[in-house]
Amino acid sequence: MRIPNPIAGPKGVRTLLVIRGITGFFGLCGLYLSLQYLSVADATILTFLAPLTTAVAGCILLKESYSVKQAVAGVFSLLGVVFIARPPFLFSSLPAATPEQHFLSESTPAGRLLGVGACMIHVLGATGAYTSIRAIGKRAHPMHVMTFFSLWCTIMASLGMVAFSIPVVYPRSWIWTLLLLMVGVFGFVAQALFAVVLERLIFGVIPSLLSIIGASIIISSAVYVVLTKQEPTQGSPTGNTREEI
């Protein structure tokens, strides 16, 4: 596409592009880790916290507007997280896991809390990525944003494998190769999938009543924030009008 500075990126936003790549890596890492302990539905629903945390970050770092109503929506979203995490000190009446169940499986309180904690890392990473992209604005091509994300995911993952002595694993069958390709392809379009429906159809998993309540609260709050339009603050560093957005 003959985009200028295809490797290093445009001057003035290179640091922001690096931040976008690194925070995006931790966002993905947290999401993949949470899927080891949470159902697809719960993990995906928790990602809907990202618009709320991004709004807070935009207010603090980019001096964008943040209304009291959006803050209330954020509080309700945290309530939704509690329903999904179900910490033992609040939900002690729930049935305990049997000794045969794995300690860190989703059916144990420790497993759910670890999964929710990993998903919160994803939310923080996504917040950093979205905020940095917003700060970059039109000063870089969208291709720069995508390539820096891929580049730093590769760099950080490689460093992590060295630091934690994680061996390189090669696909030993066509099924492994196909699954790895599916991770890349479907990871690109994951936001367009309705995870709860897919999980019910493919895995036969029915979310619990508390998970449904928590999901409803988080989605409702996220949708409210997205649909709530705020007038741009005078002197905002982004300088975008509503028509430009």
Per-residue pLDDT, 38: 84
Comparing CA positions, the residue from 240, 1, 242 lying closest to residue 141 is 1
Asked whether 41 and 83 are in contact (CB, 8 A), the reply is no
Helical (H) or strand (E) element with 112 = helix 109-136
Model confidence over 79-124: pLDDT tens digits? 888 787 776 656 665 555 444 344 455 557 788 888 889 999 999 9
Name the token pair of 180.
Answer: 């790895």
Per-residue pLDDT, 89: 55
Determine what percent of the chain is predicted with pLDDT higher than 70: 76
226 or 241: whose pLDDT is higher?
Answer: 226
Per-residue pLDDT, 191: 45
220 or 92: whose pLDDT is higher?
Answer: 220
Classify residue 165 as left (phi > 0), alpha (psi -120 to 50) or beta.
Answer: left
**How far apart, in whole angstroms, are the C-alpha atoms of residue 99 and residue 91?**
19
Per-residue pLDDT, 14: 95
Q: Is the pLDDT of residue 151 over 80?
A: yes
The confidence band for 167, taking pLDDT boundaries of 50, 70 and 90, is: very high
Q: Which residue shows structure tokens 């009543």?
A: 209
Q: What is the mean pLDDT of the chain?
A: 78
Asked whether 211 and 46 are in contact (CB, 8 A), the reply is no
Per-residue pLDDT, 225: 76
Per-residue pLDDT, 100: 39
Comparing CA positions, the residue from 147, 125, 112, 170 lying closest to residue 14 is 147
102 or 15: whose pLDDT is higher?
Answer: 15
Comparing CA positions, the residue from 202, 144, 121, 123 lying closest to residue 13 is 144
Model confidence over 222-234: pLDDT tens digits? 777 777 755 555 5
